[in-house]
Amino acid sequence: MDTVVQTRRLGLEGSQTRARFIDAAEEVLRDEGLPALTARQVAAKAGLKTQLLYYYFRTMDDLILALVRRVNERRLVRFEAALAAPEPLRALWELNSDPTGAALASELSSIATHREAIRAEIVRSAENFRALQIEAVSRLLVPDGSRSAAGIVMIAVALARMIVSEAALGLTDGHAEALVIVEQMLDRLSTPKQTAP
Amino acid sequence: MDTVVQTRRLGLEGSQTRARFIDAAEEVLRDEGLPALTARQVAAKAGLKTQLLYYYFRTMDDLILALVRRVNERRLVRFEAALAAPEPLRALWELNSDPTGAALASELSSIATHREAIRAEIVRSAENFRALQIEAVSRLLVPDGSRSAAGIVMIAVALARMIVSEAALGLTDGHAEALVIVEQMLDRLSTPKQTAP
DNA sequence: GTCTATACTTCGATAGAC
DNA sequence: GTCTATCGAAGTATAGAC
């Protein structure tokens, strides 16, 4: 039996209207948070009718999934750009310190925790991105043997994310001291001169 | 003119029923996420009538504020217990690595980002807790002068939080390598023997 | 303190005309 | 593709009886 379960509605992929809904969803999620990510509020932000959203997305979960995929694609593009920068390690740090990306990542992580349908997609792309970053950092490090690129990536990503999200709340205690450590590390690791034996 | 704006309802502070609502709110927030934190679902989890919630809390924001305060008080108690442990630095790391606390902290941080009324309370207690942790770590460190307790606290807290929240999603890439670094640090910092001059 | 009853809004989603 | 019209459930919150 052919599983043609989807009997009634349509939906197009390359549509510009569809993209407007995804844009609006991203904006709502970033600015108002997860409880505001509703069909009505997304449509209002897009300047379109609520019911039209259901022509392009079967359910709200489908819209969120489309948003997740677009966020991930954009992150990969920016990652490649960072690797091509004059100081790639510093560019990676700045990529991970982007406030817009951090706010979205935080909300998406919250979605992944509680929505089975979204979790797989988020985890899969997070694993992919983590592997790419570890590989890149491993190539960029001064090869002094004792350092684990994976550990450094974990610490840097975690620290960047926390600093950005706390700063958005107006909480900055300890940030300056942590950034001093990061700067020292970036200076040391980015300059491939010989260190003392 | 006396501002006796609150004309109609009552509400008691030490009530046991009130505590049950807060318990239920914590459980709902941790297990189902922020969009599920509604009067109906909290009351259902508590096994009480929805309307009764409004006898104890004027609005949902009031309930969330009560939850925030209780989470903060409990965290301070656990912090004091960690300081009294045989290996305080390790106990602090484990406190920050508690999955229940991390899940709640993540959701509360999301609330703080988008709700003005809650933000102040969360930021205030986060600043207080950060200061206490930095002070404690500063006292516990081997005094080799070159280390910033504030920076170490930032890195440790950020790393613990990310590891726990990612592990809850089934994402563990890089965790083992990061934990090796933490263990090395804990071993080195917790043992107050003289290091090389 | 707890209950019933209720007002009004917003939610996701669908049917069917144009 | 976009529209009008609509459904039933769930949202916050209040009034008033017991």
Domain that holds residue A51: 10-58
Quick one: B139 exposed, middle or buried, by C-beta within 10 A (0-12, 13-18, 19+)?
exposed
Residue-level pLDDT at A195: 47
Distance from CA of B109 to the nearest CA of A (A): 8
Q: Tens digit of pLDDT for each residue in A61-99?
A: 999 999 999 999 999 999 999 999 999 999 999 999 999
**pLDDT(A57) > 60:** yes
What b/e readout covers A131-153, taking b as 16+ CB neighbours within 10 angstroms? ebbbebbeebbeeeeeebbbbbb
Residue-level pLDDT at B189: 79
In a domain, A180, yes or no: yes
- What is the token pair recorded at B1? 């003119």
In a domain, B4, yes or no: no
Q: What is the DSSP string of A87-136?
A: SHHHHHHHHHT-HHHHHHHHHHHHHHHH-HHHHHHHHHHHHHHHHHHHHH
CATH code assigned at B186: 1.10.357
Strand D neighbors by CB, 7 A: A 10, 12, 15, 17, 48-49, 51-52, 55; B 8-9, 36-41, 50-51, 54, 58-61
Residue-level pLDDT at B157: 98
In a domain, B197, yes or no: no
Q: Which of A58, A80, A95 is the endpoint of a domain?
A: A58
Please, which pLDDT band fits residue A4 given cuts at 50, 70 and 90?
very low
Residues of A in contact with B162 (CB under 8 A): 154, 157-158, 161-162
Amino acid at A6: Q
- Kindly identify which residue of chain A lies nearest to residue B121, measuring between CA atoms: A169
Please, what is the angle between helix B60-83 and helix B116-140, to 10°?
0
In a domain, B93, yes or no: yes
Distance CA B65, CA A156 (A): 32
Q: Report the number of distinct structural domains present in chain B.
A: 2
Residues of B in contact with A36 (CB under 8 A): 114
In a domain, B154, yes or no: yes
Residue-level pLDDT at A189: 79
**pLDDT(B12) > 80:** no
Same structural domain for residues A75 and A45?
Answer: no
Please, which pLDDT band fits residue A122 given cuts at 50, 70 and 90?
very high
Distance from CA of A28 to the nearest CA of B (A): 11
Average model confidence (pLDDT) across chain B? 92
Same structural domain for residues B176 and B94?
Answer: yes
